[in-house]
Amino acid sequence: MSQAVQIIRQEHRNLFRVVTMLDAMLRDGREAPDLPFVRAVLDYIETFTDRFHHPKEDLHLFATLRRRDPLADAMLEELEAEHAGCPGALSRLKDTVGACERGEAGAADLLRERVAQYLRFQIRHMQKEEGVILPMAEKSLTPADWAAIDAAFADNRDPLFGAEARADMRRLYSRLVNEAPAPYGVGG
């Protein structure tokens, strides 16, 4: 397995863990959620997907696979459209946090519903990448293609799980683990 494939799978697990814990923490719902904390987690998810993970997939893996296997095109279009829709989904989530901050009726339920929806969306998206796109790439890309893609993916500046992890991001993650109920975290 190429290094890039291992990194993609690992990044998917990292994102899955963060969104699952946020979802579990909100569903636990015994206390009102700490909204600045929810916002910080959403900011991290935005940085991770829009600045690290999706651009690497679009510019390197998807672009190379499109050249090598025309049959991948329909699925790649679908995945690229989903990447393009991500900033909008996150800004709707943040708007809902804003509605909670203003104490609007029903906003907390809407936030829970939207986070659950976002989690389902991310799971489906990553399943398509791991179940369809990675196997197609492993069949049709050349060793030289993989060497170029590996180099791009090795640039891992994710502020939470990357080589240059930041202390504030680490604290954010430990708090998420502490607040999310078992079995997702150790809270509750």
Residues in touch with Fe ion (CB under 5 A): 57, 129
Neighbours of 144 (CB within 10 A): 9
User: Residue 110 CB, nearest distance to Fe ion (Å)?
Assistant: 26
For residue 165, the number of C-alpha atoms closer than 13 Å in the C-beta half-sphere is 10
> For residues 111 and 126, which CB has a smaller minimum distance to Fe ion in the complex?
126
Q: Which is nearer to Fe ion, 129 or 158 (CB)?
A: 129
- 181: β partners: 187
Q: Which is nearer to Fe ion, 37 or 121 (CB)?
A: 121
Nearest approach in angstroms of CB 157 to Fe ion is: 16
**Using alpha carbons only, what angle is made at residue 140 by residues 70 and 130, rounded to the nearest 5 degrees?**
90
CB of 8 to Fe ion, least distance (A): 6
**Nearest distance, CB of residue 53 and Fe ion, angstroms:** 6
Identify which of residues 4 and 108 has a Cβ nearer to Fe ion in the complex: 4
Q: With CA atoms as reference, report the closest residue to 50 among 18, 97, 82, 16.
A: 82
